[in-house]
Amino acid sequence: MPQLTGKEIGPIGFGLMGLTWRDKPCSQEQAFETMRAALKNGCNFWNGGEFYGPREYNSLVLLERYFEKYPEDADKVVISIKGGMDPKTFRADGSPTGMRRTMDDSMAQLKGRKKIELFESARRDQTVPIETTFNVLKSEYIETGKLGGISLSEVRAETIHEAVKHAKIEAVEVELSLFSTEPLENGVAAACAQYGIPLIAYSPIGRGMLTGQIKKIEDLQDSMLRSYPRFQPGNFEINLQLVEQVEEMARKKGCTPAQLAINWTRALSRRPGMPTIIPIPGATTVERVEENSKLVDLSDEEMAQLDATLAKFTPAGERYPAHVPVHT
């Protein structure tokens, strides 16, 4: 079993973003049922964000209410929280003042019901030396027992190589899926392997695209995604071609397209030079959690088949709109 901050976690984690950062979030009751199902199915690594939803109902508020109702679950779950963004400008703020604000606000929202095992700045602040950011986290939060450890988010390989000189990096979170294989090619996965750092794969089902449930743009439940390049008319239709091939392979395998996509990221871990990879698909229903948490073993032959499929396919459109920083 993988470990984070010395605690065992399941091979598949759980992304909380969709529970609060949606046009119309599901009810709190439904969110709680989904979270309990995640834990029941072995997905005890939960990934949320200070800005995943409005201040009055973000991941931390949801977690606080959940652990108020189910205090016995607090020690069973390992949570990672993204923050480090200026709440007014939504730009990365790695300054000492910014770090204190994001950490103090996050802990205040949890009301002492749960310790934050991992904290990660959602994007690296290019204007602040990374050691300045880390020194605040280490001396004021980790060494005082308020925080378990430091993770990185949406970074390039050079940032990982620099970061390990200044702090123990517990995990690196980047987008990794059959649609987004850049970490396998740009040195990020190799850097994680070099330092023994687990790689957390967010959006392993391509923001829902690889479930096979999205056949036309109107099927997108989240209006925010409609501004993303890969979901624009012209690009969308091209990207459906990969989905169709994944669906066909899943039928032959006897699993769902989402299960194939999620377990492909896991299977990469066994390749030479790869780190432990932990996918964190999101879900808003018990049914979807149960589907996403199923472990499916992919043979070397099946992985080679997926390699061949990917070699012939280039996703149309970038991962994010131009104004969103990536590879920081």
Catalytic residues: 52
Instruction: State phi, psi for 274 to the nearest 5 degrees.
Output: -105, 145
DSSP string, 69-128: H-GGGGGG-EEEEEE-B-TTT--B--SHHHHHHHHHHHHHHHTTSS-EEEEEESS--TTS
Four-CA torsion 105, 107, 113, 119, nearest 10 degrees: 130
Cα 147 to Cα 81, 119, 138, 141, 245, distances in angstroms: 11, 8, 9, 5, 43
| 234 half-sphere exposure, CB direction, 13 A CA radius | 5
3-state secondary structure of 233: coil
CA 123 to chain centre: 13
CA–CA gap between residue 209 and residue 230 (Å, rounded) = 10
Element (H, E) at 4: strand 3-4
DSSP string, 178-230: SS--HHHHSSHHHHHHHHTPPEEEESTTGGGGGGT---SGGG-S-GGGGGSGG
Count the Cβ atoms, other than its own, within 10 Å of residue 196.
Answer: 9
Place of tokens 């990469």: 268
